[in-house]
Amino acid sequence: MRSTINQSNCQQTETVTERLIRLGSVGNTYFHDKGEPYVCFDSKNSSKATKVRSKAFTMMLQKRYFVETGQIPQPDQLNQAKIHFEGFATLSDKQHSVETRIGEHKGNFYYDLNISGGKSIVEISKAGWRLIQVSPVYFRTSQNMLPQVVPSAKGNVKLLLKHVRFKSKADKLLYLVYVISCFVYGIPHPILILSGEKGAAKSTSTRMTRSIVDPASNDILFMQTAVRELAITLQNNYMPAFDNLTSISEKISDLLCVAATGGGYSTRKMYSDDEETILSFKRCIILNGINVVASKADLLDRCILLELARIDESERKAEQEVWQEFNDDKPAILSGIFTVLSKALQIRPTVKLAGLQRMGDFSIWGYAIAEAIKPGLGDSFLKAYSLNIKRASEEATSAHPVASAIIAMMRKTDYWQGSVTELLGHLEDVASRERIDIRNKVWPKGPHVLSRRINEILSNLKQCGISVEIRHGGDFKVATVEKIGIKQSNAKPQPAKK
């Protein structure tokens, strides 16, 4: 049951603060989410939650007071009332999760259309999907969120592929599965990276993808260079989409990794020196650029890389026409997504995959979703995803100077062994020959740093068929580099030198 403050009797001796507390109690439900106080203004007809500290809550108190008295309360009187409600909500034994766009309860998924009044929530279960007015999940909103269209009674998810153009069938399948997976609550989602030459409609494809999942007034965003500002953007957008990127800094890359797999960012509260707040998120993120914008191996391990095809000039349409056709199909696309997801909920418990990839939950759900689209399509998805992971590993190694040097070194041998100091010297010779930039800040300045740099790209090198092992060998560390699958009898080891 939802906790509601009992309305007290209005007395002639009632102070302004007491009246504000009485007015703020009528019909409102107070609770907290991990200590953050929330209020639902109309719990019988709505699942929208608002922070007690928000401007919307203050305006609600002001409006109710003005309607009853014809006057505006003073700021200190409002603050006293808000402190009361903050304490009541925080100390209440009623705790509920407040979600952005997507929620889950007892195995069912809930999607917030963010429309005013009526049936504004989509409930997806194994039995199908339906529109409901109040859900067991509370949802927050933000200034950037737009209403979603109401899905049609019948749909076809494959209509989405009319509006985006990829170079391969594998990319089409991965894209379709990815978009549907964005409606799955609680799992880590890969970061979608769209690349392509000029004229490949990268921005339009990004905007359409976001429009299906999380429509927003500012649908494509500027990538902030400040970590705190980006963390706030991630908190307020379920599918933040960043357009026309050329590179990503190391700190931003690390935060995107956290946002994809799930985590939080700690920062001080505004105007406070010692009190902190935790921004927590697990987001579906889109990045686009002419080239693959990610370069760090740990970020690429969490990505799906899809390449868009250039649209021929003879096929180009006016932007208004493009969006009109897309918006006409959108209700059917959404309906198709919910239908497929309902079937995937039935299939998911039966899926048992051997040798899960890094994003294991996505692999399992992706298989179930592909099977729900068409029986037998699950294996095609796994093959496409495996090839995409290999491509991401190749991107990671090509962007990492140490990995590039190791790959170049192993083109002429199947096996190498020596001290880490010798390996660094050998790699410097290879880098000079291959014109690999050793002035790059990633390039190790000493043997002890080389071990750390190799650890960063170990899994990516394995994807490329190269194994690197570093172990203690007495007075020094021994490095062994070999091609995976090469028989030892055919190898020509080079003994370590002291």
Break the chain into its structural domains and give their ranges.
16-91, 100-139, 157-396, 400-490
* Gap between the terminal Cα atoms of the chain: 73
* Count of residues making up the chain: 498
Q: What is the rounded average pLDDT for all residues in the chain? A: 89
Specify the pLDDT at position 295. Answer: 84
pLDDT for position 202: 94
Burial code (b: 16+ CB inside 10 Å, e: under 16) for 189-216 equals: bbbbbbbbeeebbbebbbbbbbbbbbbb
Q: What is the per-residue pLDDT for 375?
A: 96
426-459 confidence digits (pLDDT tens): 999 998 999 988 888 889 998 889 989 999 889 8
Q: How confident is the model at residue 7 (pLDDT cuts 50, 70, 90)?
A: very low
| Residues contacting residue 332 through CB under 8 Å, at least 6 positions apart | 151, 152, 154, 155, 156, 159
Q: Is the pLDDT of residue 356 over 60?
A: yes
Structure-token pair, residue 267? 């920062």
Locate 192 and state its tokens. 């979608």
Cα–Cα distance, 391 to 64 (Å, whole number): 59
Q: Which residues pair with 192 in a beta bridge?
A: 286, 304
pLDDT at residue 460, as a whole number: 87
Torsion of CA 97, 357, 258, 100, to 10 degrees: -30
Percent of the chain with pLDDT over 90: 67
Architecture of domain 400-490: Alpha-Beta Complex (3.90)
d(CA 465, CA 324): 48
Examine domains 157-396 and 400-490 and report if their fold is the same: no
Average pLDDT over residues 457-471: 89
DSSP state, residue 221: B
Q: What is the chain's percent helix, strand, coil content, to nearest 5?
A: 45, 20, 40
pLDDT at 496: 40
pLDDT score of 414: 93
Whether 487 shows a pLDDT value over 80: the answer reads no
pLDDT for 5 equals 47
Distance in angstroms (rounded) separating the CA atoms of residues 423 and 402:
11
**Higher pLDDT, residue 166 or 276:** 166
Adjacency order of strands within the sheet including 50-51: 29-33, 36-40, 50-51
Query: pLDDT per residue over 100-136, tens digit each?
Result: 999 999 999 999 999 988 899 999 999 999 999 999 9
In tens, the pLDDT along 48-70 reads: 999 999 999 999 999 999 999 99
Instruction: Find the mean pLDDT for residues 317-334.
Output: 96
Note the pLDDT of residue 495.
40
- Pick among 3.40.50.620, 3.20.190.10, 3.40.50.2300, 3.40.50.300: CATH of 157-396: 3.40.50.300
pLDDT at res. 497: 40
Mean pLDDT for 407-433 is 92
Percentage of residues of the chain with pLDDT beyond 70: 92
pTM to 2 decimal places: 0.86
pLDDT of residue 263: 80
Query: Mean pLDDT lowest for which of 34-43, 160-169, 177-186?
Result: 34-43
Comparing C-alpha atoms, which of 181, 8, 19, 3 is closest to residue 95? 3
Name residue, tokens 């959404």. Answer: 334
Q: Region 323-340: what's the mean pLDDT? A: 97
Confidence of residue 278 (pLDDT cuts 50, 70, 90): low
Per-residue confidence band for 277, with pLDDT thresholds at 50, 70 and 90:
low
Reported as a pLDDT band with limits 50, 70 and 90, residue 42 is: confident
Q: Name the band, by pLDDT with cuts 50, 70 and 90, for residue 323.
A: very high
